[in-house]
Amino acid sequence: MSFDPNDYVFAKRLTVPRRVLLDASGASTLFAQFTVAGGGLSAASAVTFGVSATGATVLVNTADAALDGIKVVSQRRPAAHRHPARRRCDRCEHQPVHDARRRPDISSYGINLTTGSATVTDPAISGVATGITATAASTASGIAIKGGTVSGATSGISLGTATAPAVTGTTVTNTATTGTGIDLANSSSATLTSPTVTGFSRGIGASTTSTAPGPTIDAARVTGAGREGHRPRLHRQGHRHLGTRHRHRHRELRRDPDPQGHRRHPRPTRRRPLQQRRLHPPRQRGSRPEDPPPGGHRA
């Protein structure tokens, strides 16, 4: 299906019952959500899907779908100009819309396979919480992701309980050190070939309670990932990693260098001038009544 190049906003989710190719002669953005009920959905290089609302930009509820060239981005929707005034229009059923300065919505998923399956080829997904996901209880087979770039704030690719999913040559990125790049979850017999994961807390992970057959991982490249829930801090002077116990001990030493409470290097006290000091005569023994007299004992 070809359309005039422009930006379009759709208020309702669009259903794709058969294989559809979207094409335009110029750069265009479709702010819409799609449900693939059969066949598949493909987009030409000039067509981009803008995040229009929370939820999945592309929802798949069929088996063996084909998703080619899906590009999902988070950007500002075009402003709507239904009514120039903010007052209520009594003759209209809808309210005026003023979203010229609206912040971009953050979609939950770029592609949600639910309990279906699809072959996703060359996706370009960003600005979402999870790039590509399958329902946690889904045991569907035939899930394959080939090439492309997927960026998610929480997870790049999450495979649920899928059977023999495959990820080949896909780059998964995240600007923050949180979440999991490729979450195998409870999937069985997954195959990861030449994936690249950058910037997550865990590059590739699986559920610790999973009893399913493990994955086959070949030529994976993981960079910028740290241990889950822990990011070691750097010592300012030596630039060395300090563990939690040593870090707290280091703070205590900086606060109180001497365990007995005394400073190792006390600050020099400033003495007052001589004329401001009190000069007392030398104390004689027996000058106080409690002291015995010189040369004898008190009677």
pLDDT on residue 176: 75
pLDDT on residue 220: 94
Q: What gap in Å lies between CA 223 and CA 215, rounded to an integer?
A: 20
Mean pLDDT, 10 residues at a time, over the chain (299 residues)? Answer: 91 94 94 95 95 88 96 72 44 40 59 96 93 93 96 92 96 86 95 94 91 94 69 41 46 49 54 57 57 56
pLDDT on residue 184: 95
Taking the whole predicted model, whether its pTM rises above 0.85 is answered as: no
Q: What gap in Å lies between CA 180 and CA 159, rounded to an integer?
A: 12
pLDDT on residue 53: 78
pLDDT on residue 267: 57
pLDDT on residue 131: 94
Q: Rounded to the nearest 5 degrees, what angle is found at the Cα of 227, between the Cα atoms of 222 and 232? A: 115
pLDDT on residue 273: 59
pLDDT on residue 260: 53
Q: Would you list the DSSP string of 34-72?
A: EEE-SSEEEE-TTEEEEP-SSSEEEEE-SSSEEEES-EE
The DSSP bridge partners found for residue 7 are 29
Contact 40/83 with Cβ under 8 angstroms? no
